[in-house]
Amino acid sequence: MNNDTKLNDAQLELYFIYDSHCPWSYATTPLVNALCEAFPTIQLHLLHCCHFDGTDSAGLDQVDAIKKLSKVKFGREHIRYANSPKDATKVANLMAWLETKQPDKMLTVLTALQHAHFVEGNPLTNKHDFSTIIDTHKLSPSNKVFREELLNDAEQTLAGIAEIYEVIGTTSFPVLMLTVDDQGIFIDHSKYLGAPETVVEAVRQEAEHLD
Q: How far apart are CA 141 and CA 50, in angstroms?
A: 19
pLDDT of residue 74: 98
pLDDT band, residue 1 (cuts 50/70/90): very low
Q: How far apart are the first and last CA of the chain?
A: 11
Range of the domain at 52: 3-208
Q: In the chain, what percentage of residues exceed pLDDT 70?
A: 97
**Dmax over Cα atoms in the chain, in whole Å?**
52
Distances (CA, A) of 96 to 90, 145, 175: 10, 9, 18
Cβ neighbours of 26 (radius 10 Å): 29
139-195 tens-digit pLDDT: 999 999 999 999 999 999 999 999 999 988 988 999 999 999 989 899 999 999 999
pLDDT of residue 6: 67
Closest CA to 46 of 66, 27, 62, 25: 25
Domain count for the chain = 1
Q: How far apart are CA 117 and CA 94, in angstroms?
A: 15
CATH code of the domain containing 36: 3.40.30.10
pLDDT of residue 155: 96
As a whole number, mean pLDDT of residues 62-70 equals 97
pLDDT(2) > 70: no
Measure CA 105 to chain center: 13
- Let me know: does 122 contact 116? Beta carbons within 8 Å: yes
Q: What pTM was computed for the model?
A: 0.94
pLDDT band, residue 4 (cuts 50/70/90): low
